[in-house]
Structure 1
């Protein structure tokens, strides 16, 4: 007796049939567009001084608060699409491509230390007329979110930090590799993107090969700016300024960390919770460096429960 194929398989077969003969870029654009639309999001752009900033926002406004999503190093706004799909019915979501990332401008001389990026985000949100929001950040974006909440406390309703950078009290596999001159977060040649995915994610979402190929091409093309950004943020966690600054956060803060994180040791969550007044933590078993990609439904649920309990 044969079983009926699952719906996602049928959709993939239909998509492959429709796109047969299309370029990899066409397939990538179609797939990304479908993910965004399914999440209730659409792309937009805004000029912020000398910066050209790409972002995703609700296709239809929701009768709720704004939520600003800040991705990590070498990542982009689409890292948030699957989590955002669980929020756009009730919140106005803004997923931003930080300068140097995604489809935003990539000026090598812009300044990419955490404090620089906080100011960039401030200018972006001012241009978008967002004066108050819940904020979520992953990795580098988590550090930016924490520092933003400390710098502009009146603008942040709550903050969720997914495996945040900024504190490296406990070393990780990444630290050892970078010390040896091998950084898996910066793809340089074919095959490196697979290695990056394997290193950063414990639960990898399915993506067809043409999409992964385009993602790898984009990552390799961004090598120069990625090296500039990584050098700018690399030593921040060893300086006291960041640790001192986050003690000034007044918004409710939830620190969420995947216990299988090879990029930043999950035990650093305790340092964040110790430094940030009234912060809470959640550790996720079997999850790596990007919970919003690996377990988007659970990540969205944690956010909703957190803000409800913080009222």
Structure 2
């Protein structure tokens, strides 16, 4: 079973981390929100303390099933599920497979849209490169996920993100890249969910095509979209702002 952190009591919020991250990225949010909610953060396959056993390809659907195993173990049958980047892809797959368990959905710097052909090719190349030279891969790729103006002042946060990446197994990293490139369009999952949804995007996020996502979200009911002055790593670039958005959204939708 996947490693998880479980803290607090009340309505359950599940946090899923992104590619090269682990459940530690949610510690700030978990400590704050657990005063009012039950907050569970999970290490996805190949990452963090779930890094030892992994498949050659970790599809989002398969990761979602393993997340559900954790919830079954904890006897939890209703959650607000949210995720950053890859974690958002897994959250969407979870909402598709276990819609009856989802009372809310959150996407942190993530998208319902699949990879285009160029991105798919980049994923395959990255899967090869990271196995050959992981240190160089982390050094070059992770800072680029931050907004350019934030890089000089957030060196400590960048080092933390690189440290998290080192806790992922190389096979797990490769498997995640291969799995992400195979994911399908899950816009209809959001349209059909019928529950409160939030999406946080970064103005300087080069990893997500925000304009295309926003266009796809037109007409979706119970949806709130927020934009911050960040890159792709808003949980590290603007944690207080992200937390405030989440707390406000929770108060508005779960009284």
Give yes or no for TM over 0.5.
yes
What is the TM-score normalised by the length of structure 1?
A: 0.69
CA RMSD after TM alignment? 3.2
Distance 1:234 1:165, change over 3 A: farther
Partner of 2:167: 218
Distance in structure 2 (CA, Å) of the matches to 1:72 and 1:245? 20
Distance in 2 of aligned mates of 1:78 and 1:194: 20
**Cα distance, 1:128–1:261 mapped onto 2, change above 3 Å:** same
CA deviations on 1:237-279 (whole Å, 9 max, x unpaired) are xx45x33333321221011111111222222431452374432
State the partner residue of 2:30.
84
Provide closer, same or farther for how the CA distance between residues 272 and 91 of structure 1 changes in structure 2, counting only shifts above 3 A. farther
Q: Which moves more between the two structures, 249-258 or 288-297?
A: 288-297
Query: Structure 1 unaligned runs (5+)?
Result: 1-47
- Over 3 Å counting, the alpha-carbon distance change for 1:145 and 1:191 in structure 2 is same
Alpha-carbon separation, structure 2, partners of 1:71 and 1:180: 21
Alpha-carbon separation, structure 2, partners of 1:56 and 1:145: 17
* Correspondence list, 1:96-175, <5 A: 96-109=42-55, 112-168=58-114, 175=119
Counterpart check, 1:56 vs 2:5: yes
Aligned residues: 249
Which structure has the bigger radius of gyration? Answer: 1
Relative contact order (C-alpha < 8 Å, sep 6+): which is higher? 2
Q: TM-score normalised to the size of structure 2? A: 0.82
Alpha-carbon distance between aligned partners in 2 of 1:124 and 1:159, rounded to the nearest angstrom:
18
- 2:174 pairs with one of 223, 227, 245: 227
